Structure 1
Amino acid sequence: MSFKSLLLSVPTFVAMAGTAFAGGISVEDAYARASGKNAKAGAAFMVIVNDTDQDDRLIGVAAEISSRVELHTHRESGDGVMQMIHVEEGFEIPAGESHALARGGDHVMFMGLNRSLEHGDTVPVTLIFEQAGEVQIDILVDLERKPDHGVMKHKTHSDG
């Protein structure tokens, strides 16, 4: 294989490496970020796809990057102020559909970071599902991504 061919194949390999599969669940476009170099908290975002015929639920997350990892979302407090809250019941991933964990919505929250999240690093994370069990992924730290980057309508199987 020539050097040029090798270089041209790298983006394909990286794109494939960005997707994790287990038990009919796949994780796409996962990335993490923190608000600053000395931040004590960070967040991860991704699209979770359930390619099975059975509903599943993301019920937990584990990672050594922080003292605590929780599933969070943003909700309006009633007075127009958005609050971030822990979602103890997790996130439903309906059969044949996807669920986006995105900025300003549902996400994984790293609290008590034990090191900074440096651009280009990877963070090993274990997602825990009711049906699929544990899915281990490496999440790329992307501190340059814009809030709406990668946000798109994800079709469900029933959308056609």
Structure 2
Amino acid sequence: MKIIKILFATSLLASLGSFVCAGDIMVMDAYARSSGKTAKAGAAFLMIHNHTDSEERLISAYSDVSKMVQLHTHEKGDDGVMKMRHVEEGFVIPAGGMRALKRGADHIMFMGLNAPWEHGDRLEVTLTFENAGEITINIIVDMEREEKDHDH
């Protein structure tokens, strides 16, 4: 019976996805992917919840898994084609609200990967917030994941 309880608890925790809470900032459901074994770049996606009474801003990200890490978004160009853009001003997380970093929109971009990412790898990434400071999270590489609906 004890083994069944342990297995149930383990599967329940696994179903929750990654979850990190630092003060009133909560980062959850983080995962990363690249386009394959020869990829020179990859991206990470996650949810940021701001449980404070004031606006917060994700201003940068750092990891030693690549030569450069930037905050990026996708925008439609004048020619109608979607293009990625570095977001130097960072991402605002409204007071009492959340911000989804997801495919085809805001995300964390890793350029110049030091090694190929394999399904199941863990990436240590430090997120820097304007008010909350640094939060270090572990992001799991999930090459098979389909995008979840983040419009809760």
Normalised to the residue count of structure 2, the TM-score between the two structures is: 0.95
Deviates more, 1:131-140 or 1:4-13: 4-13
User: Are 1:90 and 2:90 matched, yes or no?
Assistant: yes
Give the 5 Å matches for 1:48-63: 48-63=48-63
Bigger drift between 104-113 and 4-13 goes to 4-13
Q: Percent identity?
A: 53
2:66 equivalent to 1:66: yes
Q: Could you report, residue by residue, the CA deviation over 1:16-37 in whole angstroms, capped at 9, with x for unpaired residues?
A: 6711011311111100000011
State the 1:131 CA deviation: 0.5
Letter in 2 for 1:58: L
Query: Aligned with 1:119: secondary structure?
Result: coil
> Residue 107 of structure 1 aligns with which residue?
107
| 2:27 match: secondary structure | strand
Partner of 1:26: helix, strand, or coil? strand
- Is the 8 Å Cα contact of residues 29 and 150 (structure 1) preserved in structure 2? no
Query: Partner of 1:9: helix, strand, or coil?
Result: helix
CA distance, structure 2, for counterparts of residue 89 and residue 152 of structure 1? 23
More displaced stretch, 129-138 vs 13-22: 13-22
Q: Which secondary structure does the structure 2 equivalent of 1:36 belong to? A: coil
Q: Secondary structure at the match of 1:3?
A: helix
Q: Which residue of 1 aligns with 2:148?
A: 150
Distance 1:80 1:13 in 2: 42
Superposition deviation, residue 145 in structure 1? 0.9
Query: CA RMSD for the aligned pairs?
Result: 1.3
Q: 1:47 maps to which residue?
A: 47
1:137 partnered with 2:117: no
Residue deviations 1:53-96 (CA, integer Å, cap 9, x gap): 11110000010100000000001111101110100000000110
Whether the aligned pair in 2 keeps the contact of 1:19 and 1:28 (CA below 8 Å) is yes
- Aligned partners of 1:23 and 1:133 also within 8 Å: no
TM-score under structure 1 length normalisation: 0.91
Gaps of 5+ in 2: none
SS in 1 for 2:14: helix
